[in-house]
Structure 1
Amino acid sequence: MTFSQSEQSSSQEPRRLLITGGAGFIGSNFVHHWCEHYKSDRVVVLDALTYAGNRNTLKELEGLENFRFVQGDICDRALVDNLLEEEAINTVAHFAAESHVDRSILGPDAFVRTNVVGTFTLLESFRQHWDGRGSKNSDRFLHVSTDEVYGTLGPDDHPFTETTPYAPNSPYSASKAGSDHLARAYYHTYGVPTIITNCSNNYGPYHFPEKLIPLMCINILLGKPLPVYGDGQNIRDWLYVRDHCSALDTVIHKGVPGETYNVGGNNEVKNLDLVHMLCDLMDELAPNLPVKPAKELITFVKDRPGHDRRYAIDATKIKTELGWSPSVTVEEGLRQTIEWYLTHEDWWRPLLSKEYQEYYARVYA
């Protein structure tokens, strides 16, 4: 469910959004979604353009009158203060985060700085800006988080709900848990209209190649091994990124400040089964693969430290209270994702840099 421009209240001023991390994977898809659906709203993207941020993802939007891109760090308080004031921001959609578990194991300090200190900087700046401009009922601070803060599930455990206790098991998930707690505290202490969303594993266009699905797609195209951790029986709930964007749209318009909403795709799949699905689709859709069938490339590697066995989201609350549910099955979403990567080599090929190759060798050695 999404809202069209015509469905916005005529008495509500246009939203002026600051979207942090808007050149990253989920953030950039959300930027495209918002600019498509709300053409009179102002969209300002703040992104540090670290390794996973790609300004080319937004190039078709840069000529729009209501769009602005700013390269900068969310920990830069003066920059954030100036942007909020200069652009009269009334809505923050906060995606900026270090998000890859493997990288958090190799270097946790960047995760604490960006995910915890950066979120605090944004919240504190928005609090003072919000107080100063005069709060309005439509103002929002959307904090986009992950289901990984809840830890791991057993095979028969009920999926995560909004009341599941936090039990993070990696530096990444611990840093996101910390940022969630800050967002919650700023509502209860200061009344800042924060809303938290915790989503399951996203996939789709513009996904950096270190993550499972783009990694497998690209490695198949290159005839490289497909590394599968451990026994491949870890289970994830897969959410197509454009479904996720429609959920966030719904939360901004209909969500209640101070609340948390879990967003899931209702698609629990074992990692090894997912890789087999990708191999079969690549065999079907990609001509002239170096190795065919692609499943011959599957290679089991040493398991990731602290690897959570199962994630699953119970998205009942957002469905019953806000009327949102996912529209794309994992089979449909994977097909669309593969077709995107097959037609956008000019986007992903430059990302296979020397730094990326060195990182890849460290992780999968």
Structure 2
Amino acid sequence: MRILVTGGAGFIGSEYVRMLLGVPGGSAEGVPGWEPSRVTVLDALTYSGNLANLAVVADDPRLRFVQGDIRHAEVVDEVVAGQDVIVHFAAESHVDRSIAGAGPFVSTNVLGTQTLLDAALRHGVRRFVHVSTDEVYGSIADGSWTEDWPLAPNSPYSASKAGSDLLALAYHRTHGLDVVVTRCSNNYGPYQFPEKVIPLFVTNLLDGRTVPLYGDGGNVRDWLHVHDHCRGVAMVQQGGRAGEVYHIGGGTELTNKELTGRLLRACGADWDRVTPVPDRKGHDRRYSLDITKIHNELGYAPTITLDDGLAATVAWYRDNRSWWEPLRKAPAE
């Protein structure tokens, strides 16, 4: 099997690549029988893409890396030719950046996805896995979203992802392309770029700095370890039904204030290191995914508790300063 992973040098994409190539201790243990003949990574290596994320598999003869942008049709056409499966992680994904400037989010997440879909259709790709987010639903006060819930995104980022989801599903319904969509809750784990909340807080605390807490800290998120997310994506790639959406959640909801408290304890810090900041524009209050469908159809359930996952994540950042310190010093693009 020949698999193309877009955004495969990023946080989640690189975990998927390490899984596919069977790195000991990685997510491969949850996907028995996988022996891809070729894994191709297409990544533009913008600020959040990092070849260091693939260092442990760099010498695997099955890995091919191509630096390129999913918006560039000629590059995409050359890379997609001959692939059996595309797993599409590549996206602009930081909400605050999308509020500051929506253009790159629309062009990458929507037009880039269209470019990939056109190439997949042209070259007869057998399956297209489109990786998305729970943020496309907006905010939910009570209960949990099911896969048929109406989309109501509130940020330019989530709106661009909602657009790409609908486009991918339209290619299935219009052209018969085998498309499956996954929507995940908030990810955390090793190799996450330090602008996201957990690595931002951990690296700040390890350096003796303060951490910013939006508003009253009452916004609620469901936390999903990247290992479990990639297991879920793999299950959908193998057994998901064409044209369907599958939720992948972690099963642990926390307010941002509760999460902050856990990170403070894990880093040996006190609340005097927390600085309240004005709330984010359009800040969604609560996210919650119902994972009944993927559990019943494919057997998915999260395996890493938040306590264990956070402890391992803090330890990873403590032990891997050489990975994250240069990223904090580099200017953002």
Which residue of the partner structure matches residue 318 of structure 1?
A: 294
What pairs up with 1:103-114 in 2 under 5 angstroms? 103-114=97-108
Which residue of the partner structure matches residue 158 of structure 1?
A: 143
Which residue of the partner structure matches residue 147 of structure 1?
A: 134
Pick aligned residue for 2:47 from 36, 48, 51: 51
State the TM-score, normalizing by the size of structure 2. Answer: 0.95
Pick aligned residue for 1:192 from 168, 171, 177: 177
What letter is aligned with 2:37? Answer: D
| Structure 2 residue 25 is matched with structure 1 residue 31 | no
| Structure 2 residue 112 is matched with structure 1 residue 118 | yes
- Matched position secondary structure for 2:213: strand
What pairs up with 1:326-365 in 2 under 5 angstroms? 326-356=302-332
Which residue of the partner structure matches residue 83 of structure 2?
A: 89
Q: Which moved more, 1:37-46 or 1:95-104?
A: 37-46
| Structure 2 residue 238 is matched with structure 1 residue 253 | yes
Tell me how large the CA RMSD over aligned residues is. 1.1
Which residue of the partner structure matches residue 25 of structure 2?
A: none
Which residue of the partner structure matches residue 65 of structure 2?
A: 69
Following superposition, the deviation at residue 229 of structure 1 comes to: 0.3
State the TM-score, normalizing by the size of structure 1. Answer: 0.87
Stretches (4+) displaced over 3 A: 37-40
Q: Distance in 1 between matches of 2:68 and 2:158?
A: 24
What pairs up with 1:199-278 in 2 under 5 angstroms? 199-278=184-263
Following superposition, the deviation at residue 268 of structure 1 comes to: 0.4
Higher alpha-carbon Rg = 1
Residues 10-59 of structure 1: per-residue CA shift (max 9 Å, x gap): xxxxx201100001111111111111143443100000000000011112
Pick aligned residue for 1:180 from 155, 159, 165: 165
Which residue of the partner structure matches residue 75 of structure 2?
A: 79
- Kept in 1, the 8 Å contact 2:20–2:36? The answer is no
Q: Distance in 1 between matches of 2:157 and 2:116?
A: 19
- Matched position secondary structure for 2:331: helix
Q: Distance in 1 between matches of 2:41 and 2:146?
A: 31
Residues 245-268 of structure 1: per-residue CA shift (max 9 Å, x gap): 111111111111101001101110
- Kept in 2, the 8 Å contact 1:220–1:294? The answer is no
Q: Distance in 1 between matches of 2:36 and 2:278?
A: 50
Q: Distance in 2 between matches of 1:115 and 1:148?
A: 14
- Kept in 2, the 8 Å contact 1:47–1:53? The answer is yes
- Matched position secondary structure for 1:278: helix
Q: Which moved more, 1:293-302 or 1:308-317?
A: 293-302
Count of residue correspondences: 323
- Matched position secondary structure for 2:279: coil
Following superposition, the deviation at residue 272 of structure 1 comes to: 0.7
Q: Distance in 1 between matches of 2:266 and 2:175?
A: 50
Which residue of the partner structure matches residue 31 of structure 2?
A: none
Which residue of the partner structure matches residue 273 of structure 2?
A: 297
What letter is aligned with 2:256? Answer: N
Q: Distance in 2 between matches of 1:348 and 1:354?
A: 10
Residues 145-202 of structure 1: per-residue CA shift (max 9 Å, x gap): 0000000011xx2111101100000000000000000010000000100000000000
Q: 1:47 to 1:354 in 2, by over 3 A?
A: closer
What pairs up with 1:271-286 in 2 under 5 angstroms? 271-283=256-268
Q: 1:263 to 1:69 in 2, by over 3 A?
A: same
- Kept in 2, the 8 Å contact 1:205–1:340? The answer is yes
Residues 185-229 of structure 1: per-residue CA shift (max 9 Å, x gap): 000000100000000000001000000000000000111111000
What letter is aligned with 1:109? Answer: G
What letter is aligned with 1:122? Answer: L
Which residue of the partner structure matches residue 21 of structure 1?
A: 7
- Kept in 2, the 8 Å contact 1:282–1:294? The answer is no
Identity, in percent, stands at: 51
What letter is aligned with 1:218? Answer: T
- Matched position secondary structure for 1:102: helix
Q: Distance in 1 between matches of 2:91 and 2:80?
A: 19
- Kept in 2, the 8 Å contact 1:44–1:69? The answer is yes
Q: Distance in 2 between matches of 1:294 and 1:141?
A: 46
Following superposition, the deviation at residue 60 of structure 1 comes to: 2.1
